[in-house]
Structure 1
Amino acid sequence: VRVTIAACDVADRDAVAALLARLDDDPAPLTAVVHAAGLNDVAPLLDTDLDRLAAVSSGKTAGAAHLDELLGDRPLDAFVLFASIAGVWGSGGQAGYAAGNAYLDALAERRHARGLAATSVAWGPWADGGMATDDAQRELARRGLRVLAPADAVHAMRVAVGRGGPALTVADVDWTTFAPAYASTRPRPFLAELPDARQAVRDAAGTPTDGGAALRDELRGLTGEDQDRRLTDLVRAEAAAVLGHGGPERVKPRRAFKDLGFDSLTAVELRNRLNRATGLSLPTTLVFDHPDPAALAGHLRATLLPDAPAGPAADPTETAVRHALATVPLARIREAGLLDLLLGLTGDDGPAAEPDGAGVDLDEMDTDTLIRLALDGTES
């Protein structure tokens, strides 16, 4: 085997044309192409301007388009495009990257329709030098996407080319973890034909064998205030378990779930644990519909004991403020330098004081403390 390494910017059409011309001058004919270029720039869609989008997509889309155009109808044994699962089912912060990879799948379909060799492989993360960093690999594994060993991936590529289909996905997925989170906000017909994924979604909504009867009986023997306290403690304990805390102490009753570190995956895990504890069939959007553990406990009480007397009506102003603050983690407010401004609006010139006189660390500030300070300042 003879190997030649030639630098070439595949986004530059003239550079690709020159490379192919040099290959045509070689006695050994060109029989296969593997387009593996890629640049991954993780950023929210709102922070992705045209220049940033072009930089991410050009290596994928322009390079593939140039190869397809310049090679024309030349017969090849293989024309392989390295795509990504980001273009198949999406990936947070990778809008431009996802679009570029979806283009590769479409290009392969078009070449296939022309009777030309084409295989677009939407890869999951690779180990040992793949585009995902070590931290990203650990986060992906937590979400149910395990890294592929390069030897296994290369073998899968050989099988994919041999099958003759234009596009397929190769990923090592733990469906019991991935599928419930992926289907947390709405049904996913995409998974309907995958038995393991379909079963994982069903299992995630499981309920206790007694249908929550024991918890209901316990609550009926308590006063309304104690019912709220019992259910708040339940939510805090389950939330702490999901977040990996040693106990519920770090889960404050009035601290927004987003401030506590909940995302789509941990939201599903908490929903599943509360389903099993209460016997209810709770929606996967639970922690997004109810901003903090105390509010969620109130919802559980009303659902478990619909005939019980309702608690005191919440202050509509406080409720509106809580929901508004729950949409933006206080960490973001602190980073933007707005927390001091908000505290200033409450009438406090510096770090707020708790009733016992202890100062409040701004880094430990939660939604409940901020709202209480605002309400106290209004009353005074």
Structure 2
Amino acid sequence: MALFDAAPATGESVLAVTRLDTRAIRALGDGVPPLLAGLVRADSARRPVASGDAPSGNPGGQGLAERLAALAAPERERALVDLVRGRVAAVLGHADHTAIDADRPVQELGFDSLTAVELRNQLATETGLRLPTTLVFDQPTPRALASYLGDRLTVEETTPDEPVLAELARLEAAIEAAATDASAHGRITARLRELLDTADSAAGAPADASAQGRDDDLEDDLDSATDDELFALVDELN
């Protein structure tokens, strides 16, 4: 300790060798303290980021791009900011990314050149982008980092109906198979009508717009039906 106290008085950088109990450091309860992160990184076990903190890793960025494509622009920006905040928290050994201010320079949180490179590596793995080693210094805040990543990610725009139509196409065969049972048919069609009413309500249409549309279609069919088709319908009803 006497040598440690004397080191600053030399006015020069001094190399020191010491023994660290890394298990004791990790037992402090919140991961490795930022001050020691660069010293014990090799055998430290970072606390996993909770599932809601940030999106999970996707080498190559394909999964991230697909998730972003399904979001509107404001939600996409928010998702990227949360992604960066989650990675910043992970590098610093924090479990909760909400404590990371999106507009505060990460260097004020205790980042140095080593942790900056680690953050760059994590973001590169997540996005599949080739990122410069000076990334954190060029884009100092999580929001600036998110904007930088968003400008460089290739996200194929999708219309709002595409994921819904894809899901309906996936369910089509299941509905067709289940509807052969009379009881199941009634429950399925009732639920589908409820979904149509929900869609009409979201679009600002009257609650009975779907039913009215079905009635209008029926009237059109009756108006255009031939006499033979009308007689056949009467026979079926009888």
TM-score by length of 2: 0.46
Q: Could you say which structure has the greater relative contact order, defined with CA pairs below 8 angstroms and 6 or more residues apart?
A: 2
More helix by share: 2
More strand by share: 1
The structure with more radius of gyration: 2
